[in-house]
Amino acid sequence: MSSPWLALPDAVTRAAPRRVVSESWERAKRHELDPEHLLPDLEVGEDVLAEFRRAHPLAPVLPVIRKLLVRDAEGSGLLVAVGDEMGRLLWVEGDRASKRAAEQMRFVEGAGWAERQVGTSAPGTALELDHGIQIHDSEHFNRLVHGWSCTAVPVHDPETRRILGVIDITGDARAVDPHTLPLIEATAAAAEAELMVLRLRALRDRPAHDERIAVAGFAPARRAAAGLSPAPARRPAPHRPTPGERMRPRAFSMHVLGRDAGELAPPTAEAGPPLALSLRHSEIVTLLAWHREGLSAARLADLVYGDAAATVTLRAEIVRLRRILDRVDDGVGVDSRPYRLTAPVELDAHHVTSLLDRGAHRVALAAYRGPLLPGSDAPGIEQIRVELRARLREAMLGDAALDVLLDYAATEDGRGDAEVWIAALRLLPQRSPKRAGIVLHLERLTAEA
């Protein structure tokens, strides 16, 4: 049987692929992808797509992208796609005929085009390498995509330089015209600049906004008189990166939700594969990622061991952790006095809290994979775990739509929470067939209490 790596047209006669392409194919081979039978998964369903879009940080700058790219795409045979940092396409616009044709290879809104899922493609490989790229026709790893060409450029947070998403142009040979890459790079730069302008404008207008709230009678002393619940406690100001920090590469990511030990993923494939950490090292990295301002040795020892005097044990563990982190090229390290990470690490728990802050309850619930490091009994981890679960529960009870609340009720946290089921019962229409099941569940909870 011939190798799938030779399943590309004209494999014998055509010139060897460019290095950037061959390296991408090798990564696809390591992920055991089959170029003959490869369709992107629909990772964002139609029922949640609108909320994903509203919650995404590139949503406010979509008018800029449309003005610079989409406006001229209709009738050109080209498509303009905007995806998130995980390679999921959230917007696909442009030529209608091409959009219908692209459905055959599942280049549609909601589909996942990360390189780890579909192999070489401009949007997925641009995210993997963190720079713009053009992929011509049969350079795609997936045979279903042959005949299409594409150019894509990642979009970064203007302050932290973390990747926010990707802009892509897909179509025929015109999609890889020499002028296309500079055009998308200019569009990405314009989008980043617009994000910065919007943030500065929001900071400028915030004092006036707060003053208007106070004048309107919603100061804390008047909320009780008005019959309103107390205002939520003000959260600490977010960490603002220094100019030196802004020059760092985009953030590492670390998965700790629903996992007994964390997995630290470098920003790009070139920096190496994800790194599995021990439970103790996962606890230390999680605490330092959560407390970005840094922690003293005594405070970190207290959060890890429950004993502020255990600094000698902590220092020995930090030495071992540094040796492990050194395996990652251009990786993250641990500074001392105070202990803090040398590069930004975004926890999946951070992602959930960010979604909750933006009111994207449905997406936040989907992103919550379970308790944070459930096997850990470190006091600091337990604090974060309880805080995260409480914030999710509060959001579900306070603002979530009925269907989201019901989804939460079906989770491990919600299943035994009578208050959640009572709230769902109150929101259900009187004639809903779901009422009987909820009443039965509440009776069981009462009997077990």
User: Tens digit of pLDDT for each residue in 315-335?
Assistant: 999 999 999 988 776 678 999
What value does the mean pLDDT take over residues 211-230?
Answer: 41
- Residue of higher predicted confidence among 306 and 249: 306
Amino acid (one-letter) located at 21: V
> What's residue 144's pLDDT?
87
Which is it for strands 345-347 and 252-255: parallel, antiparallel or unpaired?
parallel
289 half-sphere exposure, CB direction, 13 A CA radius: 27
Question: Given 3-state DSSP classes, what are the helix, strand and coil percentages for the chain, each rounded to the nearest 5?
Answer: 50, 10, 35
- Rounded-to-integer distance, Cα 227 and Cα 56, Å: 34
Closest by CA position to 119, among listed 197, 245, 217, 32: 32
Decide which of 217 and 356 is more confident. 356
Question: 53, 43, 16: which is closest to 358 by C-alpha?
Answer: 53
Predicted confidence (pLDDT) at residue 358 exceeds the cutoff of 80: no
Q: HSE (CB half, 13 Å, CA atoms) of 16?
A: 4
With 50 as the cut, is the pLDDT of residue 166 above it? yes
- Which residues is 255 bridged to in the sheet? 263
The per-residue pLDDT for 192 is 92
Mean pLDDT of the chain: 83
CB 250 within 8 A of CB 341: no
pLDDT of 75 over the 80 cut: no
What are the structural domains of the chain?
4-192 (3.30.450.40), 244-348 (1.10.10.10)
pLDDT, mean of residues 272-278: 84
Q: What is the pLDDT of residue 37?
A: 79
pLDDT of residue 237: 45
d(CA 409, CA 428): 14
pTM above the 0.85 mark? no
Lowest mean pLDDT among 55-64, 156-165, 268-277: 268-277
pLDDT recorded at residue 250: 58
The pLDDT assigned to 74 comes to: 67
d(CA 4, CA 23): 16
- Top-confidence residue, 237 or 196: 196
Residue 288 has pLDDT above 70, yes or no: yes
* CB distance 254 to 373 below 8 Å: no
Is the model's pLDDT at 281 over the cut of 80? Answer: yes
Q: Specify the range with the lowest mean pLDDT, choosing from 78-92, 203-217, 226-240.
A: 226-240
Output the pLDDT for position 271: 60
Question: Does 270 have pLDDT greater than 90?
Answer: no
Which of 13-17, 168-172, 306-310 has the lowest average pLDDT? 13-17
User: Which pLDDT value is given to residue 360?
Assistant: 79
pLDDT at site 243: 40
The DSSP 8-state label assigned to residue 60 in this structure reads G
Determine the pLDDT at residue 268. 64
Q: Residues 257, 272, 39, CA angle at the centre, nearest 5°?
A: 70
pLDDT tens profile 119-134: 999 999 999 998 999 9
* Amino acid of residue 13: T
Between 69 and 218, name the one with better pLDDT: 69
Residue keyed to tokens 């099941």: 437
Q: Does residue 234 have a pLDDT over 90?
A: no
At 388, the pLDDT band (50, 70, 90 cuts) reads very high
Q: Which position has the token pair 């401009």?
A: 122
pLDDT digits (tens, 9 = 90+) for 77-117: 899 999 999 999 999 999 889 999 999 899 999 999 999 88
Antiparallel, parallel or unpaired: β 263-265 and 252-255 = antiparallel
Beta pairing partners, 80:
93, 169
